Structure 1
């Protein structure tokens, strides 16, 4: 995804991480057990998953690849289909590993320091550099966009039972909308908010009958990733 702004992806991932960090930093032990928008995951499970994603970001951003690019910020998501065996196995893996943190403050601290490091790394890497992650090669800028999108979607997941906390960063929501438009091959319904589009586009919410009618044949492509 080429926005014409080389620094845009780094700003987006920093804004997305800072917005999510503000929520996580304010959570207590009891809140860490609340359910989220991710099937089978409590808040602490989702926070652990986000730690592993930030760790992946750190590794990728510091490991240039000599291979040609085979994915961009949109096509990266083609491999992430919902309701697959791999997705179910991933949910179980996160629950088991996240449960090893007996005190949420330990996990909270690890999350905050890891995403801060990943956000800093994003500011220092040439966005045109090729980097490898998840078996593919992207430019660093496109990788940053995917990170902003994932953090933003999970920010929405995190706050399902925490309606009083701040929402995702506008930069992250904009990246998510542009990505979903790219996957759909057209703009979404103009009346959709960024938050609603992120939820229906990733299978967190179902399309209504009216939305299906308005979308026409494109409705059958939802969710676009999950």
Structure 2
């Protein structure tokens, strides 16, 4: 049996923790607000399910090269500076679709489908060569770079759910991947000395910079959030 890759281990950790969290919630908690303005727990779960479904399609569909994004540069499209009127309209349309699906699906179906889909992603990820090229969101990446983006997405949204519901946060393996990604976007190790959770929240705009942190970051302070 081939040795499991660190990013596959991290993805399995993160997806398992998220599936366990949502599966433990009563239906009433699905309507609970999250720290994301206008997003309920149901909305966020539908978004996460769509991400896992996108991963299955990508992993099952090899692409021609060359790769034009890696696990870090993929997020450059989601930086506030990269926002365009068209990207804002596209995101608004996606949010409307998510909310419609969140209302239409029974809670137990959503949670079960999320657990089954993420488990399938982890199995397929382990069977796909790390350097195989795939296509997603209009870009081409290697398999392991795609998996890194999935870890970041799921970990950050686990923080959203944990904060809104008072539940345990994501596993350390996922937070470490987020930390590495944010350092890559910043272009250097963060100089403030944040713990992984604080860095994840601050780097994605979920927590504002303090005056002291702004001073320590210098010119880089204006680049925060690094993506949102």
CA distance in 2 between partners of 1:215 and 1:80 (Å): 21
CA distance in 2 between partners of 1:222 and 1:145 (Å): 21
Structure 1 residue 166: Cα displacement = 2.2
What is the TM-score with the length of structure 2 in the denominator? 0.92
> Structure 1 residue 88 and structure 2 residue 86: aligned?
no
The aligned residue for residue 162 of structure 2 is 159
The aligned residue for residue 115 of structure 2 is 112
1:6–1:141 contact (8 Å) kept in structure 2: no
What is the TM-score with the length of structure 1 in the denominator? 0.92
Of the three residues 201, 204, 207, the one matched with 1:205 is: 207
Structure 1 residue 88: Cα displacement = 3.1
CA distance in 2 between partners of 1:221 and 1:87 (Å): 21
Counting only pairs closer than 5 Å after superposition, residues 120-135 of structure 1 correspond to structure 2 as 120-135=123-138
Alpha-carbon spacing, 1:130–1:51, altered in 2? closer, same or farther (3 Å): same
CA distance in 1 between partners of 2:205 and 2:149 (Å): 17
2:14–2:155 contact (8 Å) kept in structure 1: yes
Paired residues in the alignment total 220
Alpha-carbon spacing, 1:6–1:68, altered in 2? closer, same or farther (3 Å): farther
CA distance in 2 between partners of 1:69 and 1:173 (Å): 25
CA distance in 2 between partners of 1:133 and 1:6 (Å): 23
Structure 1 residue 160: Cα displacement = 1.6
Q: CA RMSD in A?
A: 1.6
Structure 1 residue 8: Cα displacement = 1.4
Structure 1 residue 36: Cα displacement = 1.1
CA distance in 1 between partners of 2:67 and 2:164 (Å): 39
Of the three residues 54, 59, 62, the one matched with 1:61 is: 59
Gaps of 5+ in 2: none
SS of the residue 2:165 aligns to: coil
Gaps of 5+ in 1: none
CA distance in 2 between partners of 1:23 and 1:158 (Å): 9
Structure 1 residue 6: Cα displacement = 7.8
SS of the residue 2:201 aligns to: helix
1:69–1:138 contact (8 Å) kept in structure 2: yes
Give every structure 1 segment of 4 or more consecutive aligned residues whose post-TM-superposition deviation is greater than 4 Å.
none
